[in-house]
A and B are shown apart, each in its own frame.
Chain A
Amino acid sequence: MILSPKKIYLMLIVLGAILMTFDHLTSNALTDVVSPSGLGNACAPCGAPCVDNQSK
């Protein structure tokens, strides 16, 4: 590898920070932090709905 892990790592961190800031500034903001499980008929941390005794 030409570049050391540290150099690549620092570039990734800076790139990530830029992308995160861009996303934050161009997205709608909420007044509270939230999780996907907090809305709808969520049954799992990812927000998947409850599906009881269902099979295809």
Chain B
Amino acid sequence: MSKAASMPSAVRRPLSFERGSLALFASLAVLIAGLVSLDTGLTGVGLFILGGLLGAMFLLFQYGFASVWRHALVRGEVMGLAAHFLLIGLCAIVFIPASSLGLSAAGTVAPVTISLFVGAFIFGLGMQLANGCGSGVLYSFGSGSGRMMVALPFFIIGSVLGSFLLPSALGWGSAGPVAIAGGLSDGLRTIVNLAFISVAGFGFYLLGRHRGQQLSKRLVLACLIIAALCWAVFVLSGHPWGVTFGFTLWGAKLAQDIGIPVENFTFWQWPGPARALSHSLLSDISSLMNIGMVLGAAMVAAGSGQLSRQNWPSGQQLVAAAVGGVLMGIGARLSFGCNIGAFLGGIASGSLHGWIWFVVAMTGSWAGIQIRPRFGLEK
């Protein structure tokens, strides 16, 4: 009898089942890469792979936003925020002077609107109820999290609702897009914005040191790797990485499939969204990278045996995930993105909306933290 055959089946099965999951995810990745390569060639395949690498890295390093913000607000642990600004600063070095660097890419400078304030607050609140932000929901879903299997569909529903609300919400008031130091040359603009980012990052770092906290080398390494991937996404796609439009598009396409005339709503008549709705979702950068991110995280989870270790949270916590998902979806549309598209992409592009998003979403997070115990979640 072979050694493997002599092992109890209960010991053998989980390992082989994870191998089966890994084979399934790898097969799906190859299928999608093949479909993408037929239409959009190497650029599409490259962005799909970058999405996969981001999903894998986020899961490996457990890089997130929701818990870092919560720990900053509840426990005063601010080194995670310093790491966020390190990542943003690294991205800004490439995003802001893109044209001077000879890149055919540009940062995200979104308008400062009333809807930005409302949406960012709602998003921050929802993020704490769901225990994850846009990227967090995706990579945790990819790792088989039961909570995120509830949060993601509700995030998608919320973002479709947000797309219906956004056109009228833009009418609440807008100051238009505001680029920080917008009148200056690319070089000076980069310096001014890096100065602001450094003040925030070093401020949190020094506060953390004052409180006896350490910035771990592992977190710094995560920032360096994720920044390099963000640069690659920026160069290949022509703009900073974004997550939530993909959710909106998936939801709109599903809504169409069940007979809801999504295409009649104003948002879906704007040229960009209309084009996305009428074409394959594999042509949409956000969707393509999101799918890559899920599969990248899934392969890491399957490879590390994480899938079999997932448990269902309590019913109360699943309700919180659903409510949080809807709120994040609506909030992301009203505020032009999530922690990735608005906070990271916005500030790293030198856009005022990114800073406003950060402050207001942090306030929303504080409100969400106060509500968490009602859903059986610790503060």
What is the interface of chain A, defined by CB distance below 8 A to chain B?
1, 4-6, 8-10, 12-14, 17, 19-21, 23-24, 27-40, 42-56
Q: How many Å from the CB of B202 to the closest CB on chain A?
A: 29
User: What are the interface flags for B269-285 relative to A under an 8 Å C-beta threshold, 1 for contact and 0 otherwise?
Assistant: 01111011011111111
- Answer whether A31 and B275 are a contact pair too, CB < 8 Å, given A5-B311, A9-B144: no
Docked-complex contact B245 and A35, CB < 8 angstroms: yes
Please list 19 pairs of residues, one from A and one from B, whose beta carbons are closer than 8 Å in the complex, sorted by A's number: A5-B311, A6-B21, A9-B310, A10-B24, A17-B32, A23-B281, A28-B278, A31-B40, A33-B283, A36-B272, A39-B271, A44-B108, A45-B245, A48-B110, A48-B267, A50-B111, A50-B177, A51-B176, A54-B174
Docked-complex contact B176 and A46, CB < 8 angstroms: no
Is B166 positioned at the interface, with any CB of A under 8 Å from its CB? Answer: yes
User: What are the interface flags for B295-315 relative to A under an 8 Å C-beta threshold, 1 for contact and 0 otherwise?
Assistant: 000100000000110111000
Q: How many Å from the CB of A25 to the closest CB on chain B?
A: 8
Docked-complex contact A52 and B310, CB < 8 angstroms: no
* A47 CA / B274 CA spacing, docked (Å): 9
- Answer whether A13 and B25 are a contact pair too, CB < 8 Å, given A24-B35, A45-B345, A54-B173: yes
Is B31 positioned at the interface, with any CB of A under 8 Å from its CB? Answer: yes
A45: which B residues are within 8 A, CB to CB? 108, 110, 239-240, 242, 245, 336-337, 341, 345
Q: Is the interface of B mostly helix, strand, loop or mixed?
A: helix
Docked-complex contact A20 and B32, CB < 8 angstroms: yes
Docked-complex contact A40 and B271, CB < 8 angstroms: yes
B174: which A residues are within 8 A, CB to CB? 51-55
A6: which B residues are within 8 A, CB to CB? 21, 144, 307-308, 310
What is the interface of chain B, defined by CB distance below 8 A to chain A?
21, 24-25, 28, 31-32, 35, 39-41, 43-44, 47, 108, 110-111, 113, 144-146, 149, 163, 166-167, 170-177, 237-240, 242, 244-245, 248, 253-254, 267, 270-273, 275-276, 278-286, 288, 291, 294, 298, 307-308, 310-312, 333, 336-337, 341, 345
B144: which A residues are within 8 A, CB to CB? 5-6, 9
Q: How many Å from the CB of B177 to the closest CB on chain A?
A: 6
B171 CB contact (under 8 Å) in A13, A32, A50, A55: A55
Not counting A21-B31, A24-B35, a sample of 10 additional A-B residue pairs whose C-beta atoms are within 8 angstroms of each other reads A8-B146, A9-B310, A20-B281, A30-B39, A33-B44, A33-B283, A35-B242, A37-B272, A44-B108, A56-B171
Q: How many Å from the CB of A50 to the closest CB on chain B?
A: 6
Q: How many Å from the CB of B310 to the closest CB on chain A?
A: 4
Q: How many Å from the CB of B336 to the closest CB on chain A?
A: 4
Q: How many Å from the CB of B11 to the closest CB on chain A?
A: 17
* A28 CA / B363 CA spacing, docked (Å): 42
- Answer whether A29 and B283 are a contact pair too, CB < 8 Å, given A10-B24, A36-B272, A40-B271: yes
A35 CB contact (under 8 Å) in B32, B163, B239, B278: B239
- Answer whether A32 and B43 are a contact pair too, CB < 8 Å, given A10-B24, A24-B281: yes
Docked-complex contact A30 and B272, CB < 8 angstroms: no
* A21 CA / B34 CA spacing, docked (Å): 11
Docked-complex contact A54 and B40, CB < 8 angstroms: no
Closest Cβ neighbor of B315 among chain A residues: A1
A37: which B residues are within 8 A, CB to CB? 108, 239, 272
* A42, A44, A56 interface centre (most CB from chain B within 10 Å): A44
Q: How many Å from the CB of A12 to the closest CB on chain B?
A: 6
B254: which A residues are within 8 A, CB to CB? 19
* A41 CA / B116 CA spacing, docked (Å): 19
- Answer whether A55 and B308 are a contact pair too, CB < 8 Å, given A33-B288, A45-B110: no
Q: How many Å from the CB of A35 to the closest CB on chain B?
A: 5
B271 CB contact (under 8 Å) in A29, A32, A47, A52: A47
A50: which B residues are within 8 A, CB to CB? 111, 176-177
A47: which B residues are within 8 A, CB to CB? 245, 270-273, 276
Docked-complex contact A48 and B170, CB < 8 angstroms: yes
Closest Cβ neighbor of B14 among chain A residues: A6
